[in-house]
A = this chain, B = another copy of it.
Amino acid sequence: MELQIQIKMNEKLYLRDPEHTELGKNIILHSIKMIYKLGFESFTFRKLALDIGTTEAGIYRYFENKHRLLVYIIAWYWSWLEYRVKIHTYNIYNPEERLRIVLKLLATTVEDDIQTSHVNESILHQIIIAESTKAFMTNHVTDDNKDQLFKPYKDLCKAIGDFILACNPNYKYPKSLANSIIEIAHIQNFFMHNLPALTDFADEKDESKILEFLEDLVFASIGKY
């Protein structure tokens, strides 16, 4: 038996559902590779079209512009991560252990443990690290938010915030701490690889050190250290 998961995406994210067609799936697959390789700024629909063997117009039928495509990809990642969090914390009833599992999922490179057809999750994780805040750090963030484009991120933060509260119901900043640990995990990873002097992990370049830092931070903050 081969299991496939399918993530239902917000319809505002696309013009035509890329999951429904071969070209659509190719757009997702190749855009992930290309954004990873070139960085989001240098990534263009023209280059993507050339790579896939289609035309710019073809891609514009699926996505309004490259920013929407980025938001789509990132939203997919957050949904997928929330799903992973659910699976990995299933049947675990100790709140601290659950939180530890979440931190590990956030801070370490994904192993392809869930089958998804057309997405390379490990490369996607690298995109998230470098590009994910660009999804909302725009001057149209309010409109995008009204279209619910950031719901997967919010849902994940909500879930993590609830885990934090389960550890310590009196902790005053569960939501803020939730998104903080996500963003810290990414920025530490980015700095470790690109501006290592800014971190305490320069020598080892080891993700498990980031995880230790995060655990230290979180459990000290919620008073369970």
Q: Which residues of A contact B (CB under 8 A)?
A: 38-39, 41-42, 130-131, 133-134, 136-142, 145, 150, 153-154, 157, 172-177, 179-180, 183-184, 187-188, 190-191, 194-195, 197-201, 213, 216-217, 220-221, 223
Contacts and interface: CB of A to CB of B under 8 A. Distances in A.
A158 to B, nearest CB: 9
B199 A175 contact: yes
Contact of A176 (B153, B154, B157, B188): B188
A172 B199 CA distance: 11
A223 B223 CA distance: 10
Contacts of A190: 136-137
A66 to B, nearest CB: 11
23 contacts: A38-B139, A133-B137, A134-B134, A142-B194, A154-B195, A154-B197, A172-B200, A173-B213, A173-B216, A173-B217, A175-B198, A176-B191, A176-B213, A177-B213, A177-B217, A180-B188, A180-B217, A183-B183, A183-B184, A183-B187, A216-B221, A217-B221, A220-B221
A131 B137 contact: yes
A154 B221 CA distance: 26
Q: Binding site of A, secondary structure by majority: helix, strand, loop or mixed? A: helix
Given A133-B133, A175-B199, A176-B213, A194 B42 contact: no
B137 A198 contact: no
Copies of this chain in the oligomer: 2
B142 A198 contact: no
A179 B198 contact: yes
Contacts of A174: 200
A172 to B, nearest CB: 7
Contacts of A172: 200, 213, 216
A176 to B, nearest CB: 5
B194 A145 contact: yes
A205 B130 CA distance: 28
